[in-house]
Structure 1
Amino acid sequence: MYFLTAFQLWPQNALLSSEKAFTEFQKISDSIAVDFPEDDIKTYRRSSFSESQLQNYLSLHYKRLDLLKNIDGHHSFVLDSYLHSGNWFMEVGFPKESIKSYLNFFKHYQAHEGNLTEKERDVYIEMLTYARSILAQNYAELNELDSAAIQHKKNLEYTKSLDYIYYPSALNNYGLFFYWHKKDLDSAMHYFQKAYTITKASYPNHTLIGSIRDNIADIHTERGDYPKAQPLYATNFEFFKTAINEKTHTKDIPRLISAGAQLTTTNAYLNRLTAAQRTFKELEAIVVSHEERNSLGSNSKLEYLEAKEFLLKQQNKIPEAYATSQQINAYADSLQLIAKIADEKWQTELNDAIVDRIAINFKIDRIQKENKIKSQRTRLWFSGVLSSVFIILLIVLYLNRRQHLVNAKNKQLLTEQKFENTALKVEQLNTEIKSRERDLSDFAIRLTQDQDWAKALANQLSAIKQADAKEREALIEELDHTIANKISVDTDTREFFERLDKLSNTFYSKLTQNYPDLSKNEIRLCSLIRLKIESRSIATLQNITLASLNTSRYRLRKKLNLSENTDLDLFIQDL
């Protein structure tokens, strides 16, 4: 109902001039700002919206995005609007929509950088590196890790020549990518250490150094090296007691509580219970103070409770630890329920808004076409008369030469048909040869895999022969289970690929035509990528490891002649 009313008030979106679109954008923004100003933190929290407010906000916001396409000349305004859209979608948990806005931001900046003043370009330095980092984060959340890595590398290249905190920040973000998403602790530590060295030398009081120090300590903790993690957490706890956040100009209480909880837990792991208790007392005072002011975040409270539970366990205060554990479970369950309800509500509202947006764009497009038809009808009539006269003259000339051309063309067609028949036979023979070569290559790969499995089977039989009576029965059962799994996997995999080949016949033909050097396994890999199947599942279906799959992907990229910046998955899905 809301969209219908808005459409009746403003039916000529596609025909709006730049200034009218700009004015309309500002009117919509003023309407939104009554309840949700852009500079108010509540605008970026899901919990701030009721259902009706959410419906209106999404509808108006999508209308603003449509208007941006028609605004010309106000380049800084358009860039800021795309940034706000990307930030808002990111904060409320819609990475796909956030990616679209950030890509539009970069596209507009590249197209109109020359139209910006030197002062405006200086302002956008920080925005460019921030947007690139969040764009990479959004891709990572969607498990599009290749795209995320590309954005991180672009950000490192851009910030390397900038004389400020941006470069170590980009290094830290790339380290987090390896830590959180790639689970590659060595690579993560490499980038964290590099960022820490630069920040410590040039910006020792910047709060970024606390974040990097925390990341390094977390890796030590994950590796079980608590003696190395402890001094880093201790330094951070003291650092965040006085450090002022550069953007909010206030103390970063969540970071302070996190550092205190980590230091308490680490001291408890090292059995330094006196030091752990002393740190916990300080932490408890901070938490109680902010609880009384109703300014304690839910994550901070959970970290505090988890540290308390672990300390009580180490102190052998089991009843108190159990009570704290119950409190943690109840609190975490309530947070998960609230988050689930919010996610469902937001997803429903977003879908409704998108459907409405499509509907209004369809109506606008129809009106535009009707107006164009009306405005051009007179000119078309005159053009039609002139064209008719011209066509009559052409027909007269055509009829005079028609018979001569028909005879000549018939002779030409007979000659071409003979040539095409010969060429077709040659092509069919070449295709059959290549197909058999690919089948032979696939057979060799399968034979190698079967040989490896046979070797493993021989090792199991050898172990059975050498085992005593008690172990032999279990080993025989394990061998039987391994053989059954092999038979089941081979049957299921064969059936899956037979169905895949039937469903992907058209895609296979197009792929083979464009890239005739691809083997049958590589064609099947393309089809699995096209279906957006995860890498781990593809490796399982092809009976190979993830490392082997990555090698196959690398070889496939070379055969497809893809550049380093081209995303393999997107390229195949666009074929």
Structure 2
Amino acid sequence: MLKHVRESFLSKHILSASITIITLLLASDIFITYFNHQVMKENILRQNQAENVKLAVSHAIYLIHNADLALRGYAAFEDTTYLPPLRFAIEDKDSIYHTIEQPLLDQYYPLTEFVLLKDSINVYLNECQQMKSLIEEKKYIEVKKWSAQAKGYHLWLQYKRFKNHIDQFQDQVKSDARSEFDTAMQINYWIEAALLMLCVPILVLTAVFAHKQLITSHKLQQIEAQNSQLLCEQKTKLEEMVIQRTQQIQLQNHQLKEQHERIFRQKEQLAIQGEELALQFEALKQSKKEKLQAYARIIQEKTITIETIKQELEKVRKTQVWDMLTDTNFNNLLHARIHTEESWQQFKINFDAIYPNFFAKLRQQYPDVTSAEQRLAALIKLNLSSKECADTLGISIISVRKARYRLRKKLQVETSVSLEDFIQTSF
């Protein structure tokens, strides 16, 4: 299969190359043939031009000869019917000059001799006009003298020399043009022969490859027919597989749909349970918070009691009753203070249950905060006022305010933010 495809590919390229080469050769042949045709056409024009120059030069002497005959006939018979050739010669001389001069200019012929001849012709024709006037005036002696000078003969000799030179030059021009014409024709023949020699093998080669192309194409058609039959069988099998697979997918989709519905119901149940747990957690949190606040109030009350006892002791200390106090009473007072420290520990346990990371985050982020400042921060977290904090800690409100100021400074709280909001949002 690959071999046939490769041969077909090569055949197509060889055919394309052959057609391209033949096209280029034909285009080159057309161009060169056109160029040679132009050369031959130009050479024919040059030959015709040379022949026309020779004819024009001959025509010039005919005009002079006719003018001379007209003048002599008029002198002999005094009949004006002989004068028209003289008039025609004078009228046509300029056109004949142009007919001769322009081709000579195109052929780069030196015009010196032609200019001299032209001047001689003009002088001769002017003298013919003068002789005509003398004849009309019956001055035959002067006419006879002029005729004796044989100026027409001398002009004819001058013309003869010019005519010989022109004939030689024009014959050479014709010869050169003919030679170039023959060369162009020969080149054209050689090109046609070369084109034939090149095109024939290429055409033969093209025919051979075209024949191979036909054979290859026939084989490819057979292979394509076999492939089409094979593809048709494979398509039938594939359609059966697709139908079977589609049924399996539909069954799987049905199973997945049922599984999805079960999962959805389980999610709904879990969501309900989650809501119940959240409500229970909030209730528990609120309960613990209330207990914590109760502990705080107990501590506050105990602290107030201790402060009251201390104040009473200060009063008694200044009297004689101080000596009457027994060690038992003093120990009871000390026991009450120790009981307050235990209450703080119990308060901290309850506080950690509600805000488990409060003290840890506070110590981690601000290690310079003291334990007393930690207690004050915990009470602020419970939204206790400064007075309630003072009663709970057993210090004055002024001391609480100073402690709040130090705590605010250590926590680096901005002036636009309250200490309560900062503690509520940060810990």
Same-fold call, TM cutoff 0.5: no
- TM-score, normalised via structure 2 length: 0.23
- TM-score, normalised via structure 1 length: 0.17
- Which structure's relative contact order is higher, taking Cα pairs within 8 Å and 6+ residues apart? 2
